[in-house]
A and B are shown apart, each in its own frame.
Chain A
Amino acid sequence: MDLQALRLSFTLAALTTVVLLVVGLPLASWLATSRWRWKPVIEAVVALPLVLPPTVLGFYLLVAMGPRSPVGQAWIATFGRPLAFSFEGLLVASILYSLPFAVQPFAASLSSVDRRLVEASHTLGVSRLGTFFRVTLPLALPGIVAGAVLTFAHALGEFGVVLMVGGNIAGETRTLSIAIFDSVEQLDYATAGRTALFLLTVSFLVLVVTYALRRRPVAG
């Protein structure tokens, strides 16, 4: 098994999960409480990666990151190297592609917290942010952990978008799923099989953990 690809995949998945916890929780919190009339549009945008072929998302990301786009040019001007076909570009793509896998379970578990408890906290003088950390977050934690685990697993196995945006550069953008593809192309079925079995096992364990968390009743 390609250990370099393994390390790369884990780093990518871990960073994706961390970023989505930081970015996804406020977004999910907003989705869970907002009554804005255009909210369905935002919800649809968040859910798009679920239905869109990875190649479509990958294509647009590639164009957006390319050296001729404003984003690509700004990146080159700042960091001195292109965003497309780099690990950073891959991370951006992975975050966007995994967005619904994080935000949807986050929002579901946040909105399952009884509104009365939030209101009780407010009448006791605790600010909105304080209430989020002292009431909403602890009560929604099982769902948030489940969402984070799911995001990690999803990012670990991502293939289509990675191929479009990252290509296949060893140590930079070659992830496990790309390595499997590589092995098969070289007719090295033994290596492909080992890597595939590894990903299958990890994904299965992750799902077991996720469902176990979902079943756990809230302590009370």
Chain B
Amino acid sequence: MTVRLVLDVQRTFAGGSSIHVRLDEPLVPGEVLVLFGPSGAGKSTVLRAVAGLDRPDGGAIRFDGETWFDAAAGVHVPPQRRRVGFLFQDLALFPHLSVEGNVGFGLGHLVREDRRDRVGETARMLRVEELLGRRTGTLSGGERQRVALARALAPRPRLLLLDEPLSALDAPLRESLRGELGALLRRLGIPSIVVTHDRTEALALGSRIAVLAGGAVRQVGRVEEVFGAPVDLEVARVVGTENVIPVRVVSREEGLVIVEAGPARLVSVDPGGLPGEAFACIRAEEVVLEGAPAGATSARNHLRGKVIRLVNEGPLVRVTLDCGFPLVALVTRSGARDLGLAPGREVSALVKAPAVRLVPRG
């Protein structure tokens, strides 16, 4: 059952900067909407406004037909009555309570047996059953996160909000938890909103993405669309100069993976633990263009393509090719001149296997 979230959040900060974020998005159970942008873009402000923790200066927030906030009508539903789960960046576990006390904290409305059942059920789902008797100070980073998620999910929220959910973890743990969190969010059957400034996180978790920059929404769409085809230079700068291509794993050999990208095949280094579906990420800077056909080279990926568009970016030219899927290359002006690049020209795009980064598809 899809619910609709209509946002119009206006807020002016003490320093004089202000944000005005408008968004009208269907939220699908099991799908994740990513609010993506650099720090200071207003992502966390929006998330806190949706949770009811902060009251915006103007605008309105409606969820599933309910008005949660309306500045003009003077409506502000307190967080207690919104039934949202909130995962704080630093997790905010209660240090004076056991894991069980934390998970059952929001279940005061249930009678004792029901509460115990619900705690057990939620703990099983998040694999924190053996931790229930422990104090939160003795948990590892990954355990703390699962406990915080269990606490947020136990009261069965209608919407789950996650503020930079992986940023508090150290790098190796973040890698392994990213996929786990993505799988969990898809399994939950409630819609989620994730705030992040990390591209990999957005790809691994998000179904749809809203890019925020300068206090406003610049682009909304499916993750691979927005990453692959930013609407303007500012969005391109925020999401990075990256090609994001949906691919399917075909075979693996000698630590390499062969994936299918439309009609073409790409060779990449096997990151391990990859499911059948993934995104291949290639930075536009890493794509080398040659006049077709290319000679012998060490680059494993040779893609035949036709130039669609050329856009000047200072000393560089952003070249969009059609290789069966759109591929963006960033080359110097002189390089483009030497190759005689123009729309319609056939070229070869060369990409080294290690420059193709595979991310499990969210």
- Given A116-B88, A120-B86, the answer on whether A138 and B155 have CB atoms closer than 8 Å is no
B218 contacts partner chain A, Cβ-Cβ < 8 Å: no
What sequence of 0s and 1s flags, for each residue 79-93 of chain B, a beta carbon within 8 Å of any chain A beta carbon? 111111110101010
The answer to whether A123 touches B85 (Cβ under 8 A) is yes
The answer to whether B105 touches A116 (Cβ under 8 A) is no
The answer to whether B94 touches A135 (Cβ under 8 A) is yes
Chain B hits for A119, CB < 8 A:
53, 79, 86, 88, 92
A220 contacts partner chain B, Cβ-Cβ < 8 Å: yes
The answer to whether B84 touches A123 (Cβ under 8 A) is yes
The answer to whether B96 touches A122 (Cβ under 8 A) is no
The answer to whether A121 touches B105 (Cβ under 8 A) is yes
What sequence of 0s and 1s flags, for each residue 127-144 of chain A, a beta carbon within 8 Å of any chain B beta carbon? 100100011001100000
A219 contacts partner chain B, Cβ-Cβ < 8 Å: yes
- Given A116-B88, A138-B96, A218-B95, the answer on whether A123 and B105 have CB atoms closer than 8 Å is no
Give the shortest distance, in Å, between B151 (CB) and chain A (any CB): 7
Roughly how many angstroms separate A218 CA and B137 CA in the complex, as a whole number? 11
Q: Which of A119, A124, A135, A139 has the most CB of B within 10 A?
A: A124
The answer to whether A219 touches B135 (Cβ under 8 A) is yes
A208 contacts partner chain B, Cβ-Cβ < 8 Å: no
Chain A hits for B141, CB < 8 A:
none
The answer to whether B92 touches A220 (Cβ under 8 A) is no
The answer to whether B78 touches A220 (Cβ under 8 A) is no
Roughly how many angstroms separate A142 CA and B94 CA in the complex, as a whole number? 16
A114 contacts partner chain B, Cβ-Cβ < 8 Å: yes
Roughly how many angstroms separate A139 CA and B96 CA in the complex, as a whole number? 7
Within A98-133, the residues touching B (CB, 8 Å) are 114, 116-117, 119-127, 130
The answer to whether A123 touches B51 (Cβ under 8 A) is yes
- Cβ-closest chain A residue relative to B109: A125
**Chain A: interface residue count, which band?**
20 to 34
What sequence of 0s and 1s flags, for each residue 202-220 of chain A, a beta carbon within 8 Å of any chain B beta carbon? 0000000000000000111
Chain A hits for B81, CB < 8 A:
125
- Cβ-closest chain B residue relative to A116: B92
Chain A hits for B109, CB < 8 A:
125
Roughly how many angstroms separate A130 CA and B107 CA in the complex, as a whole number? 13
The answer to whether B95 touches A122 (Cβ under 8 A) is no
The answer to whether A127 touches B80 (Cβ under 8 A) is yes
Roughly how many angstroms separate A114 CA and B272 CA in the complex, as a whole number? 40
Roughly how many angstroms separate A168 CA and B53 CA in the complex, as a whole number? 55
Roughly how many angstroms separate A219 CA and B136 CA in the complex, as a whole number? 10
Q: Which of A122, A130, A135, A138 contacts B79 (CB 8 A)?
A: A122
B108 contacts partner chain A, Cβ-Cβ < 8 Å: yes
The answer to whether B53 touches A219 (Cβ under 8 A) is no
The answer to whether A130 touches B95 (Cβ under 8 A) is no
- 6 residue pairs of the A-B complex, CB under 8 angstroms, read A116-B88, A119-B86, A123-B82, A125-B155, A139-B95, A220-B95
- Give the 4 A-B residue pairs with the shortest CB-CB distance, closest first: A124-B106, A220-B95, A116-B92, A220-B137
Known: A139-B95, A139-B96; 15 extra A-B contacts, CB below 8 A, are: A116-B88, A117-B95, A119-B53, A119-B92, A123-B53, A123-B82, A125-B80, A125-B83, A126-B108, A134-B105, A218-B95, A219-B95, A219-B96, A219-B137, A220-B96
Q: Which residues of B contact A (CB under 8 A)?
A: 51-53, 78-86, 88, 90, 92, 94-96, 105-106, 108-109, 135-137, 151-152, 155
